[in-house]
Structure formats: structure tokens, C-alpha cells
A and B are shown apart, each in its own frame.
Chain A
Amino acid sequence: MARTDPKKDVVIIGLGWTGAILGMEMAKEGLEVLALERGEDRDTIPDFQYPGVIDELKYAIRYGFMQKPRNSTLTIRHGVNDTALPYRHLGSFLPGNGVGGAGIHWNGQTWRTQPAELRLKSYVEENFGADIIPEDMQIQDWGVTYEELEPYYDRFEKLLGISGKAGNLNGEIQEGGNPFEGPRSNEYPNPPLANTYDSELFAEAARKKGLHPFPRPAANASRAYTNEYDMQLGPCNYCGFCERFGCLNYSKASPQTCVLGALKRMPNFSYKTKAEVLKIEKAADGKTAKGVTYFDDNTGEEVFQPADLVLVCAYSLHNVHLLLLSEIGQPYDPATGEGVVGRNYCYQMTGGTSLYFKDKKFNPFIGTGAEGMSIDDYSISQIDFAKEGFIGGSYITGGHTGGRPIGQLSTPPGTPKWGKGWKEAAGAWYNHKMSIGSHGSNMSYRDCYLDLDPTYKDTHGRPLMRMTFNWKPNDIKMTQFMKGKIEDVAASMNPDQMASGYKKEGSQYDTTVYQSTHNVGGAVMGTDPKTSVINRYLQSWDCHNVFVMGASAFPQNTQYNPTGPLGALAYWAVDALRNDYLKNPRPLM
């Protein structure tokens, strides 16, 4: 029989970015808050301390900070008629584990969605007509506009101390910034990072083509910074170990560096690690949740934790899994198109071109997770979808995140894969390669979704979640469009050799090759309970005291990295909770 612990006002599932923010804001309301984190506790010292954390084999190749598939995974298949198999080895995406979640091992690329992206369906219909939307595409509006979210983007950027250059300040286009971004109320809190040589070369070539390069917004602090919780960041040292690593330098924004030190001082906040939530428990009325049941790995028992408010703040895939297991919201059925939980799972379409120059040295070991010069000239708001025959867009960046010897060493096409030839080429080209990458949108489709697997179970006996996903012609067309644009700029830079990698007609989703940990959707937000799991305030349509944070709320994926909107939405939900829900708990829509 499960142990029952004393009731809390708020229970938070997962202590990453959104869990930390919600924890802080609810604790500031004077509520008793408990966060449950299934992984280990983590802090800069000792977990990310120099030089132990700069171990590529341990952390980047053997995934030291990631979840272990033996503890938690899902099954994956390409289509509804296939049999899904477990994702037994991490590859395509790398969910984080432990306190801080993926917020400790991200690169720090922090974007805002374009205004058009937040009302994508309306935007497409208004500008190009509803008939350009392919029959199986299920894009929709988010239910919140850019204008509404702007103050929350601003707050989140200030929380993280983003280094960047505004391109649109209150409607005025700013030289050197991104002219295609939505209007911002403020400049970035910190100036841009220094550029590396390859970023400069790309920017110069882009400018010559009439494009508009700007520094990629970075959560790697360019100087010492103090945020609203009085938490501090130190200046980044360009060590090149962001992605897959915790930051040794207190420079990369993470829940640890931006929130947790202050949050742990709050007497009404506490957190438990090695506490995996198994289920959100519904009250007898079925209209609210009464708490959560979790497995306490410290004592080896199941615990029922009663609470008035349940905040689901786990990784997007786990949010959806928990809702399915807890039977909160009707599971999506692709055959009928009915149901919502698991609907509109999306991924990220990326591609890139490598450029090899015999006479240029790039010192790739100097890098940061978000350094680079980007262009947004081929973003969603800048493309004539009717003319190009696809819906979507990408941002394109020249730059690099590091020069690690195993994962970030590449050799030109035709190089042997091993032996003397490889060694010679690796030595010859390590310092002479740069790349230009596209980071693009992925639309939602009727048969790309998440549900419970009929066969496989996890260590607690619960069905694994099943992902059904494959690339679609619309998104492949989009990435092929980007290939053309990038190769055009790349060729103008006169490299000695070039190599491109983009999805092409017939490309199948490959789970073994890393692409991005930007799994979104499945518990999407909206204004219609028939097509969304949560309303525009991230509140469950079915249980009004359950709020679901994170990128699982995205109705389709944007062209950008998800952390910016995920953070803005968290603060947006905080305001709805603080100003409305807590005073009078009820469905807000």
C-alpha cells in the first residue's frame, strides 16, 4: 500500500526550467510547494566542475547527463501500420535527466517565435488561402498572440541574461539586429558574444548577397549579469563545451544558475530527487486532480502526494506520457481524428553544409553553444508559401558550438572512414572546416502522434509511450529550399570543398542520428477543446487544477529552438495562475 504524505498546495512534476520558474513564482505566492524530480540532484560544483565535466567521451558520447533508456524510453515507428520498437539507444534526441533537466545541457540558443508562427493557420489562410494547406496537415493557431506573449519573452530573456542584438525595437528596425523578428519592448539584457572567424566570414558573404545577418541570441553570458531573482552569471569563456555538458563557468543560463540558488532559500519550497511520478490522480468528480502518485527510489515505495494544484513540468514527451497514463484528456485517434492527447507531435527539420578551406584557420575549439551569425531572410514570415509550394521556414547560421575531438571533427567527402587516410585528413582539416546550418520548422500531421504502446512496458509496469512519426513532403521541400539558399552563399565564399546534408525526397526519420532534442506537441494549447489538451493559459480542459508547461504545448514546431517560447509561456501561465486562478480556482476558459 502506498504511503501518503502530508498535503501540499502545489506539486510540481520535474525540476527543469519550467519547474524551477513555477516553483519560484508559486513559492512567492506563499504556497507550500513540493517539486518531484525523478533524476539525481545536480549543481555546478561538483557535477559540472572543471576539468571533470570537459570529458567528451563520458558526457557527449556516453550521455552522462541524459536519461538512460533502461529507466525511461518510448517506442517509435514511422507509420500507423508499422510495429513500434523501443528506442533502446539514444540517438536522434537526448532528453535530460536530473535537477535542471535539459536546461543544464542545452546550447543556449534562445529565440522568440515570429508573430506569424503563433497564428500560423490564420496567417496561411489570410495570405495564401486555406487550399495550400495539405490535406493531412493539422496546423493551428496557438491561442495566444505574439503581442500578448511579448512581455513574457522579455522577462524570460532577462531571467537568462540573453546576449544579443535587437532588430526591432517597438517597431523601429535596428541596424545589426534581426529585422524580421517581432517588435521587442527592450534590447537584449547583454551585448552579443564575440564572433568567431567562421561567423564573420558567413556574415560577410550573406551581406554581399543582400541578406541580413545578426548575432544569434545566446544564453551564454557575454559579461557578468544579475537577474530578477538576484542570481548571477559569469562571463562565458568560449570553452566549446555547452551542448551535452553542464557549464563549468556559471556562464550558461540554466535552472541552477538562474533560479535554483534563490528558490532553495524559500522556506515554503522543497524538492525531492529520485522521485518519479507514475500518475496524476484524479479526484472522484473527475474534474480535478487530487495529487500525484510517485515512486520514491530513496525508500523503494510508492507515495501518494496530495496537492491542490498539479503543475506538469517534465520533458515534453513525458508530459504527454503522464497525461495518457493518468487518463486526463481523451487520447488522440488518427483513424477518426478525434481525441487530443498525443495529437500534433512534431520534430525539427535541420540541415547543413560544411565548407573546407585550405588557407583559412578557424580554431574551432573556441566556441560557445549559441555563438554564430544568423539570417532570418528565409523565415516563415518571409517566404511566399504559395509560390514555393511548402509551408515553413528556417533560420540559417554560420558558426560553431565547439571543436570537440570526437563529435565535432569532420573530414571532407571521399576521406576514408578509418586508418592512415582518415588520420591524415583529420589532422589536415580539423582547423580548416566551417559549416552553415539551417534550423527549420516541422508541421503537424494527422498521422504523426503519440499514444500508449500496446506491447512494451516500463520498469513500473506502465505501458511505454509510442511515437508515430516520419518526414513529410512539405517539410522536405522546405529543407531542400534551404539547401539551395545555403549552397548559394557557401559557393560565394569559394571553399576548396563543400559537403551538404539535408533530408531529401524519400528520407525516412532516422532515430540513430542526432538531429535535435526538440520534440514538441502532443499536449497542445489552443482555444478549442476538440483540438487542444490545454487552453491558452496551459490549463487542462479536463482537470482545471492541472497545468501543463513545456514544448508539448506547441501545436506545430516553430523554425526556432523551443526554449524561448517555452519560458515565455511559463511566465504567461504564472500570471494567469497568480492574477486569476489562485483567487478563484475554476476552468479559466
Chain B
Amino acid sequence: MKTFLRIIAALVVLGVIALLAIIFVPVQRTKPTQDLAANWTPEKGAPLYAARMADCAACHTAKDGKPFAGGKAIESPMGAIYASNITPDKKTGIGNWSLDDFRAALVDGVDDEGHHLYPAMPYENYRHLSETDIRALYAYFMNDVKPVENDVPQTALAFPFNQRWGIRLWNWVALDTPGFHPSDVVAGDDQLARGAYLVQGPGHCAACHSPRNAIMAEDGKTAASDSFLSGGEVGGWSAPDLRHAGAPAQMWSADQLKAYLTTGRNAHSAVTGEMGLAVEHSLQYMTDADADAMVAYLHKIRLGQPPSGANAQMTAEDPAQLPNRVARMDSARDKTSAMLVAGKDLSAGARLYMDNCAACHFSDGKGAPGVFPSLGGNSIVTADQTTGLIDVILNGAAMPSTAKRPEAFKMPGFAHRLSDADVAQIASFLRTAWGNDAGSVDAAAVAKLRQ
């Protein structure tokens, strides 16, 4: 018994020592993955490009706030996490940070004083950044960003999430090897390797598009895992599957996927929600070569075979290109379109669709290429999480204005005009129309989202 107690006591002591070590022994910072000369300087334009590709602004620039001055609340299941001020302001920003401090934040998730950052900062992905990009980013924030004095609100999560040392344990489990290691999939192909780098590193696509595992870490950080980019969640919206052969991103042609990423719209669909911000602040600035590389890589890591006939609508002669509305109505052969054109015995959802939606999205649900998104096969319409669909019907949506497509098309919100039941009926109609096959939406779900 005594021995047992001794063992327990020893374990407790060891435990306490370990805990104290976890809390107080500073994190070993990861060394640069490439030795660059101290006087190495990025090429002209590279700092801005690196900052855009990593989309730092998406979180660190608040709505109507000064660039990178922080303060935006990032909603998480644990509570709001406030993005920090990353301008070179010495008092409230990162003006006193050394390059090593800066690298540690991106790669190890710790600040200049060794405090753990919440993983809302996607260091899970940024740790794959190249040393040249890290240096370019550092140069950007030190030299090109205007210092702004802005004290952002302290993140104050409830216990136990306010114990930041716990993140150290999480990191042990969640993080993989730092640096970029091209996999077999892309070996020997520079374009694919570049695409893989952009997707895994700066693009941090997995942060939203990979599912989260039991400890809320990204389930799949590279294509070695089948979960990688197989669909996740952000702010209650589904972030669609990019990986499986039946997913829109895989069924679209390379040109269409590229258009979607760089202009926020293509012949089939348009961005909304968080992805709109990613296009507006980051992806629209991709060089042609980088966009092609990203698209080639995404298509290279496709999983499975497309369901038979599923992409017929993407490849067959597209009725949305027909010269006028009447010709399109006449050409519609599918069950839903025929029912809507006939206008007999329509369900409440179908009638509401004709009254509120068909002007732009048409009775064939195809909208207009580059202008009005197609609703058949649309990932927001059919997502498991119906938040996005309901939100768009209630509050509308807007495409970002991009250099190649400056028109910021907006869909008006219908909250003022449609009851919860109306919205639920339209949503349910859409989720089974034109070959869509998803569950219905009830009025209570709409009521919850109506603000």
C-alpha cells in the first residue's frame, strides 16, 4: 500500500513537474527550413504578393478598420477570438518583433513572448510556408504596412480554453512537420508542386475545407489523407468538398475553376460568404501561372470517379448560353423545369420560387453564366449545413468586385418579404429541384437565423 502511495505521489510530483514544464519551459522555436543570407531581400513586389496569397487581411483587417490593425472577432465554438494588430506599431502591433519572433508565430504558433496563439491563426498551415515567403511577409509587415496604434480587445474564452498552455499539448498532437514537402503526387512536376504549396501553405485552404477531428484540428493537412479538403465548416456554413469527383470544384473545367477563384464567379456559380472575402483579398491577385498551378493541383488530387451522368449539365450544350429566355424555357427538358414552365399544381415552394427567384435564376435554375449562379448542383444549396442557403435567402449575397470582373453583383435579401415558413419552403424546393437531392429545411431553422 505504501509503495502504491509512493508511486502515486511520485506520479503526481512528476505530473506537476511536467505541467510546470509545459507551462513555463519556453517552446523550442522551429529553425528556418532554408538558410538565407542575413542580407537576403525579397524581389520587388514579392512582399505584397506573399501577404495577399496568405490572405492575412481576411482576419487581421476589421470591417471598415485600418489595414492589418486587427480587432476583428473570429467566431469559434469556444467563443470570439480577436485578431491581433499586426501593423509595425511598436506599442500595440508587431513593431518590436524580430524575424525569429515573426517566424515562430507562423510556424510554431507562439508570440514574441512565447505565449501560445489560438489556432484560429492558421499556423497549422502557415508552418508549411517557405522561408522565402516568411521573409517576404516579414519585409511586408515591417516596411510596407503603416503602423497603426490600435489596442484590440483581449480574447477572453471561458475556462479551460483560457489556459493557453493547453494549446502546447494540442500542438503536439495537431501539428505536422514544418516546411513544404512535395508528396509523391506532385513529384517531379513543378506546376503541381507549386499548386500543392499554394493550397497547403499560404492559401490555407484546409483551414475551412478540411473537416475537424475530435480535438478540433484539421483532419487532413495534405493530400496524403483522404479527408484533406473533403469539406468542412466555417461560421456555421458548410465549406464545400473540393476533393471528390462529384464535387462542383472537380466537375468544373480548369478554366471555370480558375475563373471562380480569380474573379469570384464562373459559368455555373459565384462565391459568397467567407469565400467571397478570400477571393476579394487574396485569390484575385494570383498570377496566371499560380492560378493554373492551384487548379491543376486541385484537379490532380481528385478522389474517385464522377457519378454517372452527374456532370452532364456541366459538359452538354449549356442552355444558359441560349439567346433568350423563351428559347431557354422551350429547351428545358428536366422534370423541375418542365413543371415550372407548365405552372400546374405547383407546390408552395415552387410558386414562391417563381415569384421571387426565377427572374434571375430562371425556371431551369441555371441562372446566367458569370452573372446569376446556377442552383442545380450548387454546393450552398445542397450543403448538409443549411445555414448558408438560409442566410443567402434572408440577407442576400454579394460577389466581390475583382479586377477582371469589377461588377459586384448583389442578390437582395428577402427577409422583409418572406416568412420563416416561406423561406423554408423555397429552400426545401431548391434542395430537391433540378437533380438536387438534399433534405428539407424547417421554419424553425430559418427563425433561428433571422436577425
Contacts and interface: CB of A to CB of B under 8 A. Distances in A.
B396 to A, nearest CB: 7
Nearest to B329: A194
Interface residues of A, number: 34
Interface string B357-372: 0111000000011111
Interface stretch (B42-50, B287-295, B376-384, B404-412): B404-412
Contact of B403 (A226, A236, A265): A265
A250 B406 contact: no
Most buried by A among B321, B368, B370, B409: B368
B426 to A, nearest CB: 14
A51 interface: yes
B407 A231 contact: yes
A470 interface: no
B451 interface: no
Given A231-B406, A261-B401, A265-B403, A237 B325 contact: yes
Interface string A27-54: 0000000000000000011100111000
A235 B407 contact: no
A45 to B, nearest CB: 4
B415 to A, nearest CB: 13
A50 B412 contact: yes
Given A194-B326, A234-B372, A261-B401, A223 B406 contact: no
Contact of A257 (B321, B368, B404, B407): B407
Given A49-B412, A229-B406, A257-B407, A237 B323 contact: no
Interface string A182-196: 000000001111100
A212 to B, nearest CB: 22
B359 A230 contact: no
Contacts of B371: 224, 232-235, 250
Interface string B317-348: 00011111111000000000000000000000
Contact of B368 (A229, A230, A234, A262): A234
Contacts of B323: 190-192, 222-223
B2 interface: no
A528 B68 CA distance: 60
A51 to B, nearest CB: 7
A49 B417 CA distance: 12
Contacts of A44: 410
Given A224-B368, A226-B370, A239 B401 contact: no
A396 interface: no
Contact of A262 (B320, B321, B372, B406): B406
Given A51-B417, A226-B370, A191 B406 contact: no
A50 B372 CA distance: 14
A345 interface: no
A238 interface: yes
Contact of A45 (B369, B396, B405): B396
Contact of A232 (B326, B356, B405): B405
Contacts of B372: 234
Nearest to B326: A194
A190 B398 CA distance: 26
A72 interface: no
Interface residues of B, number: 31
Nearest to A231: B407
B357 to A, nearest CB: 10
B359 A250 contact: no
A515 interface: no
B406 A265 contact: yes
A523 interface: no
A230 B372 CA distance: 16
A227 B401 CA distance: 15
A191 B401 CA distance: 27
A235 B368 contact: yes
A110 to B, nearest CB: 17
A44 B399 CA distance: 13
Interface string A209-229: 000000000000011101001
A237 B324 CA distance: 9
Contacts of A224: 320-321, 368-371
Contacts of B403: 265
Contact of B407 (A232, A239, A249): A232
B270 to A, nearest CB: 11
B324 A222 contact: yes
B410 A232 contact: no
Contact of B324 (A49, A191, A234, A239): A191
A248 interface: yes
A257 B407 CA distance: 7
A261 B406 contact: yes
A239 B360 CA distance: 11
B324 A250 contact: no
A237 B408 CA distance: 20
Contacts of A233: 371
Contacts of A239: 359
Contacts of B368: 223-224, 234-235
Interface in B380-433: 396, 398, 401, 403-412, 417
A194 B327 contact: yes
Contacts of A229: 406
Contact of A50 (B359, B406, B407, B409): B359
Contacts of A248: 359
B405 A230 contact: yes
Nearest to A193: B324
A223 B321 contact: yes
A238 B360 CA distance: 11
A232 B359 contact: no
A491 B321 CA distance: 39
B85 to A, nearest CB: 26
Interface string B40-79: 0000000000000000000000000000000000000000
Given A45-B412, A237-B359, A265-B403, 20 more contacts: A44-B410, A49-B412, A51-B417, A191-B324, A222-B323, A223-B368, A224-B321, A224-B370, A232-B405, A234-B368, A234-B372, A235-B324, A235-B325, A236-B324, A237-B325, A237-B360, A248-B359, A249-B359, A250-B407, A264-B406
15 contacts: A44-B410, A45-B398, A46-B412, A49-B410, A50-B359, A194-B324, A224-B368, A224-B370, A224-B371, A226-B405, A232-B409, A249-B359, A250-B409, A261-B407, A261-B408
The 9 closest A-B pairs by CB, nearest first: A45-B410, A191-B323, A224-B368, A194-B326, A234-B371, A262-B406, A49-B412, A194-B324, A261-B407
Interface of B: 320-327, 356, 358-360, 368-372, 396, 398, 401, 403-412, 417
